[in-house]
Structure 1
Amino acid sequence: MSRMKEIVAKIIDKYGTNDPFEIGKARSIEFVFAELGSTFGFYSSYRRIQFIHINNKLEKTIQRFVCAHELGHAILHQDINTPFLKAHTFFSQEKIEVEANTFAVELLMTDDAIYEYKDMCLSINKLAEIYGIPREVIHLKTFSNKFF
């Protein structure tokens, strides 16, 4: 099992959900929905209070992915005020952005959830669509041995 898959599994087990908004709420993270222009969202902290800022003009499915991505920063990079996640840098190759995207993909598209579709012969892109994962980051998903 990959390190990220282990981290996500522990988070899901601890909070009993893979919903990033519920996990954030349980961790006392403050959510700020605002007009952010071309910025999808960002994570910040001030005096040990964590904030996830989300563009209120985005579709709900993208807001959910952005929340999961920023939750990844809150958990993995809590001492770093991350750069703005902008439309044109959403798929950044910077290490912390790749880690946050990987966290979001593993959180929103768990192996157990995918396993439910095993007999339907769905493409990885269709599964990504079902779980609100942008196609550009689906390659970050790692699959467990139960799929092979």
Structure 2
Amino acid sequence: MSRMKEIVAKIIDKYGTNDPFEIGKARSIEFVFAELGSTFGFYSSYRRIQFIHINNKLDKEMQRFVCAHELGHAILHRDINTQFLKANTFFSPEKIEVEANTFAVELLMPDDAIYEYKDTSLTINEVAEIYGVPREVSYLKNNESS
């Protein structure tokens, strides 16, 4: 089992759900829905209070994915400010974004969801769509499923 699968499995077990909003609420994360232009969402913290900001113009399914992605940052990268990294260092935040996407894919589309469709002709992209995971990141499940 991969490290990310283990992390996500423990979180699902601890909170009894894979709903990112419920997990965030249980972790006392504040949710802010606002008009963010072309930004889907972002994670921030201030004085030990964690915030997940979500673009209020996105449909509910995409808001759920964005929430799962930002929850990944809250759990995996709690003290990392990617905006600062982009502006002030040579460090590429790409690895951090891939980790947050992988976290979101694992959270929203756990292995039992994949196994449920194994005897059908559905592709991983089609199963991802059923679970609200964008096709653009569904390949992360293929990379993690070993």
Report which of the two has the higher share of helix.
2
- d(CA) in 1 for partners of 2:73, 2:125: 25
Where does structure 2 lack aligned partners over 5 or more consecutive residues? 84-91
1:91-120 alpha-carbon deviations (Å, 9 max, x no partner): x97010000000000000000122122222
- d(CA) in 2 for partners of 1:50, 1:78: 8
Corresponding position of 2:88: none
1:1-148 to 2 correspondence within 5 Å? 1-83=1-83, 94-141=94-141, 142-144=144-146
Cα deviation, residue 139, structure 1:
1.1
1:63-88 alpha-carbon deviations (Å, 9 max, x no partner): 000000000000000012343xxxxx
1:30-89 alpha-carbon deviations (Å, 9 max, x no partner): 000000000100000000000000000001111000000000000000012343xxxxxx
- d(CA) in 1 for partners of 2:116, 2:124: 14
Give every structure 1 segment of 4 or more consecutive aligned residues whose post-TM-superposition deviation is greater than 3 Å: none
RMSD between aligned residues: 1.6
TM-score, with structure 2 as normaliser: 0.89
Determine if contact 1:42/1:54 at 8 Å carries over to the other structure. Answer: yes
Mean alpha-carbon deviation: is it higher for 95-104 or for 113-122? 113-122
Paired residue secondary structure (2:104): helix
Aligned length: 137
- d(CA) in 2 for partners of 1:82, 1:55: 18
Determine if contact 1:42/1:82 at 8 Å carries over to the other structure. Answer: no
Where does structure 1 lack aligned partners over 5 or more consecutive residues? 84-91
TM-score, with structure 1 as normaliser: 0.88
